[in-house]
Amino acid sequence: MAAKKSETTVDIGGRTVKLTNQDKVLFPADGYTKGDLVAYYRAVAPVTLPYLRDNPVTMERFPDGISVPRGIWEKQMPRYTPEWVSRATIPPSTGEPRDVTYVVVNDEASLVWVANLAAITLHIWYSHVPAIDVPDVILFDLDPGETCPLARLARVALAFREELDNIGIRAYVKTTGGMGLHVIVPLEPRYDYDIAKGVSELVARRINSVLPKDTTLERTISRRPEDLVYLDWVQVGKGKTYVAPFTVRARDGAPVSMPLAWREVEAMRRKRAPETTAEMRRWTIANVPRLVAKTGDPWRNEGWIPQSLESAMARARPLWGV
């Protein structure tokens, strides 16, 4: 039987990947197609794969494009997944009624395969297999309100850097691809989730005490001041996920969750933008491959270093009064 005209195959690392409907428009306002998405992920594979490798992936798929109100959130690996795609079966200890077998994107061929499913956004766990009970990052979600000035968001992110640096922890920052920023701390994989979450809360409360006029810990959206930055520290937990570095978001403009050098956040602090969205969406499917080809991964350039917590917490006690 002859192949359909809209289908083709590519050989990647000895794997044959079938590509379908590459001219399907996924971002109607911009005209970006599934072929553009596949080309993007191929271009950034060298920098995004280190974060995806050995990590269960939840795929946020939009086979009919992002104009469909809700995409398909797919945890369970599809039945038609090729045998050569890695996978991880997680027992039902995270609120799931049964075991879930996740796709694990360990190579470029697997990344292209999931992109061809119109998996625009890839969400990853805080831990890797086989040590799935041991988180290897702590993430702080800095979520600005609708009228939060860009300079305020930047000031809060830089406060995280300073306060963590004061106790001997190096932090990294990326855009969410939406309105806010993620501050991330890579951990040595030897602490359980309760410890990681406890540290996350401690740091968030410290920042809130340092910048009470810029931040809020109020979880109820209707009660949050719209001009402040919500410090979401409860994201850390087994089975919870975050947007992988360099992944595309399903929003107009095809913004990317982009790792940044801290000097870019320092530049944001000097700007007078009345809100954050335009700045946070400067990094897109169109320009990130060119930036990556030129400068590489900002986090790796700064040294992505897993860190211990004991000495940091010992320093925090006298400095923070905990």
- Residue 118's CATH number: 3.90.920.10
Kindly state whether residues 287 and 173 are assigned to the same domain.
yes
Contact 151, 272 (CB under 8 A): yes
Q: Is residue 131 part of a domain?
A: no
- The domain boundary residue, chosen from 125, 155, 175: 125
Q: What angle do CA 270, 271, 275 make, to 5 degrees?
A: 135
- Whether 1 shows a pLDDT value over 70: the answer reads no
Q: Are residues 113 and 215 in the same domain?
A: no
Rounded Cα distance between 270 and 151, Å, is: 6
Domain hosting residue 104, numbered range: 7-125
The reply to whether the predicted model has a pTM over 0.85 is yes
18 and 48 within one domain: yes
Helix (H) or strand (E) holding 160: helix 150-166
pLDDT at 235: 86
- Of 187, 150, 164, the C-alpha closest to 264 is 150
Show which of 94, 125, 156 is a domain's final residue. Answer: 125
To which residue do tokens 């795609």 refer? Answer: 85
Which residues are CB-contacts of 33 (< 8 A; sequence separation ≥ 6)?
22, 23, 24, 25, 26
Measured between alpha carbons, how far is 218 from 232 in angstroms, rounded to an integer? 9
**Number of folded domains that form the chain:** 2
Region 122-133 average pLDDT? 95
**Percent of the chain whose pLDDT exceeds 70:** 97
Amino acid at 136: D
Is the same domain home to 164 and 207? yes
Q: Which pLDDT band, with edges at 50, 70 and 90, does 91 fall under? A: confident
Q: From CA 217, how far away is CA 211, in angstroms rounded?
A: 11
Q: CA-CA distance, 306 to 308, in Å (whole number)?
A: 7
Segment 8-24, tens digit of pLDDT: 999 999 999 999 999 99
Name, in order, each residue with C-beta under 8 angstroms of 53's C-beta and a sequence gap of 6 or more.
104, 105, 106, 128
